[in-house]
Amino acid sequence: MLILLIMWTHPTLAQEVGIGTFEEAPCPFDVPKGLIEGESIIFGYVTVPEHHAEPEGPTIRLAVAIFPSHSDNPVPDPLVLNAGGPGECNMESFVPNLDGEIGNLLLAQRDAIVIEQRGTLYSEPNLLCKEIFELQITILEQNLSAEENITLLLEAIRACHDRLVGEGINLAAFNSIESAADIAMVMTVLGYDKFNLFGNSAGTILAQHMMRDYPERLRSVILSSPVPLGTPLLQSMLANATETLRRVFERCAADKACQAAYPNLEADFLNLLERLNANPVTVPIQSPATGKTFKLLLNGERLGQWLFMVMYRVDMPPQLPFVLSRILAGDYTPLQETADIFFPMHTFSHGLQYSVFCSEFVDFTPEDVRIEGPYSTFLKGASSTFFGAKLMPRAREIWNVPALYAYAKETVTSDVPTLILCGEFDHVCPPLYGEIVAQGLTQAYVYTFPGFAHSPIDSGPCALLMTAEFLEDPTTAPDSSCLGEMELRFITEPLVKSSEK
C-alpha cells in the first residue's frame, strides 16, 4: 500500500514502472456534434494494476474522457460521473449529455471526468456476455415459464464465464474495491487532488466504497437512487417491487379521476397475468438495433418481467394506470413502444455485474426468496431477469468469485458532504435506502422526489439545479423548494384503441 500511495502521489514514478499513465487516443465512439475531440473532449486510457495490492502484476486499461470546464478560471475539483448497473457504459451514459444545456450547467465552473469502470464496454478487457445477448433474441418467440427462462440464462452465464476465464481474465479482480482504487489512481494521474463524485443507482455502491477508502480525496458526493452497502438488495427486490406497485394502485383508487377512469385496475391486471399464462398472445415487436420484427410470445410471467423493467423509468408512475388499461383492453402498443426491454443491451457488461453482485450482495439461496400470494405471477417474471433474485444465487455458483471482506459491507460513516436523491416510487431503491445511507453521514441532505421512480437525477430541472447548487457549496443544503411543486398526477386520457391508430 505504501508503494501504491507513493505512485498515486508521484505520477512520474508511476510512468517509470508502467502503470498509472494516461495515453491520449481517438474516441472509439461517435462524438456529439457540439463537442470537439481533443479540445472539449479529451479521450484516452490509463493503465492500472489488475490488483492494486500487486502493482507489479498484470495490468488493465481504463477508458477515460476529460471534459474541460467552460470557465477561464475553473475550480480545481472536477466532477467524476458513475452510472449504474453495475455494468452500464459510463461513456454511453454521460458523453451525449455533456453537450448542450446539461453540459453547460455541469461544466460552468469545473471539469468533468468520465472513467469507464473496469470490465465495461470501452475498458480493456471488457466483460460483455455475447452469450446472453444471443439468448435474448432466441427466446423472444418461445413460450417459456420464468423457471425455464432462468435455466437458459444460467447456461448462457456459464458459457460466458468459461469463455472469459479461457481468455485469461481474472473475474475476481472486477469488484468495487478495485474500482474505487482505480478512480483514486486515475484522478492522481490526471493531476487532480480532491474531486466531487456522482453515482447513480448501482454507481452509488462504488461511490460509498470511495467514501470509506478514500475520504480525503472527496470534496462532495451525490447519490441518486442509493444502494446501502450491506443491504439485502437483490433478496429484497421483489418485496420492494410489489410494495411499490401496490402503492400505485392504492393511490389511483384514492384519486377520483384515476378511479373513475380505471376502476378495479389492480384485480383486473392480476387476472390478466393468469389469463396470459393460460393463453399467451403474440405481439409483434421491432428490434431497435436492426429494425427486424419478431413475434413476441407474451405470457403472464413475461408481462410481469416487462412491468418490472418498465417501472425503472423515472416518469412511469403517473402513466402506469393508463398503460395497464391499454394492455387490459388488448392494445399492446405500450410493449411495442418499450420493445428495447426485450432486446439485448449491447453496451452492457453482464460479466461485471455478476462479479460485483456475487462478491458483495449474494449471500442467500433461491429458497430464501419466497414467491407467493396474488402477485406471484408478477414476481415470477420479475425474478427471471438476468439479475433476478431467483437466478443470482445460482449464478454466483457459476461465476465463482470470492466475497468481499466483511467490513466492506458495513454502513459507511463519513464527514464528506453528501446529497442523496430518492424517487418516491423507486421499486428497486426505495426512499428508505436513502435514509439508511444517511445514518452514517454527518453532512447528508436527503430528498425524495414526489411522483418519480428510479434515477431521480433524470426527473428534470429540479434535480439538476439542486445538484449544481450543492456542488457550488456542499456545506449548505440546496434550495429544494422546487420539490413542493411536484405531485403524482395520473394520466386519465381516453383509451386509444389499436384500430384507431
Q: Which of 413, 351, 364 is nearest to 393 (CA)?
A: 364
Contact status, residue 19 vs residue 7, Cβ threshold 8 Å: yes
Contact status, residue 177 vs residue 209, Cβ threshold 8 Å: yes
pLDDT band at 100 (very low <50, low <70, confident <90, very high): confident
pLDDT at 498: 41
Residue 9 has pLDDT above 70, yes or no: no
Between 15 and 226, name the one with better pLDDT. 226
Please state, for a pLDDT cut of 90, what percent of the chain lies above it. Answer: 92
Rounded (10°) CA dihedral 40, 46, 51, 52: -80
Cα distances from 182 to residues 19, 66, 173, 425, in angstroms, run 11, 16, 12, 33
User: In the structure grid, which three cell numbers stand for residue 333, read together?
Assistant: 402498443
Residue 1 has pLDDT above 70, yes or no: no
- Cell 425524495, residue located: 448
Residue 470 has pLDDT above 70, yes or no: yes
Contact status, residue 486 vs residue 462, Cβ threshold 8 Å: yes
Residue 253: is it exposed, middle or buried by C-beta count within 10 angstroms (0-12/13-18/19+)? middle
Contact status, residue 231 vs residue 436, Cβ threshold 8 Å: yes
Sorted by sequence, the CB contacts under 8 Å of residue 226 that are 6+ apart come out as 199, 204, 208, 420, 422, 429, 433, 434, 437
Find the mean pLDDT for residues 113-137: 98
Give the C-alpha separation, 20 to 10, whole Å: 10
Give the C-alpha separation, 160 to 399, whole Å: 9
- If one counts every other C-beta atom within 10 angstroms of the C-beta of residue 278, the result is 8
Q: What is the pLDDT of residues 289-325, one digit of tens each?
A: 999 999 999 999 999 999 999 999 999 999 999 999 9
CATH 3.40.50.1820 is the classification of domain 2-126+180-229+412-485: yes
pLDDT band at 500 (very low <50, low <70, confident <90, very high): very low
Q: What is the pLDDT of residues 223-254, one digit of tens each?
A: 999 999 999 999 999 999 999 999 999 999 99
Find the mean pLDDT for residues 458-464: 96
pLDDT at 17: 41
The DSSP bridge partners found for residue 139 are none
Residue 501 has pLDDT above 50, yes or no: no
pLDDT at 55: 93
pLDDT at 18: 59
pLDDT at 20: 78
Q: What is the pLDDT of residues 330-354, one digit of tens each?
A: 999 999 999 999 999 999 999 999 9
Contact status, residue 425 vs residue 452, Cβ threshold 8 Å: yes
- If one counts every other C-beta atom within 10 angstroms of the C-beta of residue 20, the result is 25
Tell me the average pLDDT of the chain.
94
Map out the domains of the chain as residue ranges: 2-126+180-229+412-485, 131-163+232-401
- Cell 471488457, residue located: 126
pLDDT band at 407 (very low <50, low <70, confident <90, very high): confident
Residue 327 has pLDDT above 70, yes or no: yes
Q: What is the pLDDT of residues 268-298, one digit of tens each?
A: 999 999 999 999 999 999 999 999 999 999 9
User: Residue 468, CB half-sphere, CA atoms under 13 Å: how many?
Assistant: 15
Residue 197 has pLDDT above 80, yes or no: yes
